């Protein structure tokens, strides 16, 4: 079994203590950080499929997520080896009712490495918290919202709608993303941009803030 396959297998079964070492070994074998990250994302897709098929349950999903987070910690300095220039301020969070944060954290990390100052509001963020945080940070350039559940797509819609009503809306851009979100849905709810992964989110943020 290759080191990458071994890593994926350990992420799948949530071996948080072994995953950082395996990430390092995969890097030492010459695999690019992005390749190692994508292998772990693939492992989480397998976890999701097994959950959908009732082969595993929420606790197993949770320990797999913990293991992946440990692996991402090893990759962070390599993936986020970005510029130091101040591209502006970005407020990010996962919308109300949604506790998924691995993708949001990756987006935050890549945006930060693109030179932005990131205010991460965490998960389960009520719509008015995004508004309040923009008011407290009038130099905000972008608000970035993540949603991972079809059941929290309405919360994403509500948060964007609330942002769209504000007097400051002309001064900020709103970006959305997450597995169930589509470019069509993003346009329909009045967001300025949709991207489907963390690297393209960072590139889009630079474009929007320019």
Q: Which residues contact ligand B1M by CB under 6 A?
A: 41, 44-45, 47-48, 51-52, 58, 61-62, 64-65, 97-104, 106-107, 144-146, 148-151, 175-180, 195, 197-198, 201
DSSP 95: B
Report in angstroms how near the CB of residue 122 gets to ligand B1M at its nearest: 10
Between helix 33-52 and helix 19-28 the angle, nearest 10°, is 140
Nearer to ligand B1M, 28 or 58 (CB): 58
- DSSP string across 113-138: HTTEEEEE--SSB-HHHHHHHHHH-T
Nearer to ligand B1M, 71 or 103 (CB): 103
Instruction: Name the pairing type of β-strands 140-146 and 116-120.
Output: unpaired
Report in angstroms how near the CB of residue 37 gets to ligand B1M at its nearest: 8
Nearer to ligand B1M, 22 or 107 (CB): 107
Q: Are 118 and 107 in contact (CB under 8 A)?
A: no
Nearer to ligand B1M, 51 or 185 (CB): 51
Report in angstroms how near the CB of residue 197 gets to ligand B1M at its nearest: 4
Helix (H, G, I), strand (E, B) or coil at 193: strand
Bridge partners for 145 per DSSP: 93, 176
Report in angstroms how near the CB of residue 21 gets to ligand B1M at its nearest: 21
């Amino acid at each position: 079994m290759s080191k990458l396959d071994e890593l994926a297998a350990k992420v799948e079964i949530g071996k948080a203590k072994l995953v950082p070492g395996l990430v390092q070994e995969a890097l030492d074998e010459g695999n690019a950080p992005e390749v190692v990250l994508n292998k772990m994302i693939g492992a989480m897709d397998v976890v999701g499929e097994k959950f959908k098929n009732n082969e595993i349950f929420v606790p197993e999903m949770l320990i797999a997520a913990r293991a992946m987070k440990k692996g991402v910690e090893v990759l962070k300095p390599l993936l986020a080896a970005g510029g130091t220039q101040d591209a502006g301020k970005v407020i990010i969070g996962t919308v109300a009712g949604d506790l998924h944060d691995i993708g949001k954290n990756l987006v935050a990390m890549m945006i930060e490495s693109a030179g932005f100052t990131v205010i991460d509001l965490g998960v389960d963020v009520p719509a008015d918290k995004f508004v309040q945080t923009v008011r407290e940070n009038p130099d905000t350039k972008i608000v970035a919202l993540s949603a991972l559940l079809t059941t929290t797509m309405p919360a994403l819609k509500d948060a964007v709608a609330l942002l769209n009503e504000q007097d400051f809306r002309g001064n900020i851009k709103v970006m959305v993303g997450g597995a169930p979100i589509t470019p069509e849905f993003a346009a329909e709810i009045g967001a300025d941009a949709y991207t489907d992964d963390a690297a393209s989110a960072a590139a889009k943020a630079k474009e929007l803030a320019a």
